[in-house]
């Protein structure tokens, strides 16, 4: 099976001005592109650059510095998410990525909320996720909930496992609320990639790929991607494979490694 491919143009093609990265990605054969933030972008220019390059925007982050796990931020979170939905509709993006904790510069977790119990955090997240699902269904924009690693990049993040994310989306039961399964993050946090794919892959709405350790292209770390992709094929995953990685040496070299998959 040939999976459709997306590339994160925040982490790749960094040698080019941002607006030129759409065309570069299209020239390299990527059908979709994704990026992190939208508030710092000229959305009209983004829409035009994607159209000119013949690529589709698969998605971007929908929640910025706000947290699902803080009950005091419930309304502010949803208000910002509605703005993100409007931005997605404007540029023709298919999805928004959402997180348990607000993220600052470089993906830093702004607060781990030590004053809140895990019970409060989990209940607050479930409550707000139900509202996210309603917004997703009304707008047609997919919401993908992403667990993050806490060993290397996002210390203090609350949502750390595939199981918790998938059980939340299963309980809510919306076809528009799924899990973003990041192979790099989950290898660092929990391992057992294929076991978790088989157990929870029915909840996956998007896949992110980078090798671990290092967050570089496949072949630079310890993950056996041939087995991971074969497992995704076996469970019938039909979504995108998004390459969110930092090239070890150059974008060109990383693209060659991606093509080799």
- Is the confidence at residue 57, as pLDDT, over 70? yes
Beta-carbon contacts of 61 under 8 Å, excluding residues fewer than 6 positions away, are: 36, 37, 38, 84, 96, 97, 98, 99, 103
Residue 213 lies in a domain: yes
Q: Is residue 77 part of a domain?
A: yes
Give the model confidence (pLDDT) of 131-183 as tens digits. Answer: 999 999 999 999 999 999 999 999 999 999 999 999 999 999 999 999 999 99
233 inside domain: no
Confidence of residue 2 (pLDDT cuts 50, 70, 90): confident
Residue 138 lies in a domain: yes
Q: What are phi and psi of 168, to 5 degrees?
A: -65, -50
Give the model confidence (pLDDT) of 86-98 as tens digits. Answer: 999 999 999 999 9
Q: Residue 141 is part of a domain; what is its CATH number?
A: 3.20.20.150
Residue 103 lies in a domain: yes
Whether 147 maps to a domain, the answer reads: yes
Q: Which domain holds residue 52?
A: 5-10+20-217+238-246+253-260
Number of domains in the chain: 1
Burial 101-120 (b: 16+ CB within 10 A, else e): bbbeeeeebeebbeebeeee
Full DSSP string of 27-72: HTT-SEEE-S-STTS-HHHHHHHHHHHT-EEEEEES-TT--SS-GG
Assigned domain for 232 exists: no
Q: Is residue 122 part of a domain?
A: yes
């Amino acid at each position: 099976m040939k999976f459709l491919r997306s590339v994160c143009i925040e982490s790749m093609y960094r040698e080019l001005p941002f607006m030129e990265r759409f065309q570069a990605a299209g020239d390299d054969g990527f059908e979709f592109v994704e990026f992190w933030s939208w508030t710092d972008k000229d959305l009209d220019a983004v829409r035009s650059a994607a159209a000119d390059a013949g690529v589709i925007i698969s998605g971007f982050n929908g929640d910025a510095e706000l947290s699902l796990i803080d009950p005091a931020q419930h309304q502010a979170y949803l208000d910002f998410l509605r703005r993100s939905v409007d931005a997605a509709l404007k540029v023709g993006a298919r999805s928004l990525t959402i997180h348990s904790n607000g993220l600052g510069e470089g993906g830093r977790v702004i607060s781990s909320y030590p004053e809140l119990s895990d019970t409060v955090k989990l209940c607050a997240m479930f409550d707000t996720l139900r509202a996210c699902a309603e917004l997703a269904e009304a707008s047609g924009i997919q919401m993908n909930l992403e667990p993050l690693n806490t060993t290397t990049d996002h210390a203090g993040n609350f949502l750390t496992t595939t199981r918790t994310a998938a059980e939340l989306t299963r309980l809510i039961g919306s076809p528009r609320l799924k899990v973003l399964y990041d192979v790099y993050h989950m290898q660092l946090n929990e391992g057992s990639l294929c076991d978790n794919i088989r157990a929870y892959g029915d909840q996956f709405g998007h896949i992110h790929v980078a090798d671990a350790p290092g967050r570089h292209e496949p072949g630079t770390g310890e993950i056996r991607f041939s087995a991971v992709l074969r497992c995704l094929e076996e469970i019938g995953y039909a979504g995108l494979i998004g390459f969110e990685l930092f090239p070890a040496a150059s974008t060109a070299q990383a693209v060659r490694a991606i093509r080799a998959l």
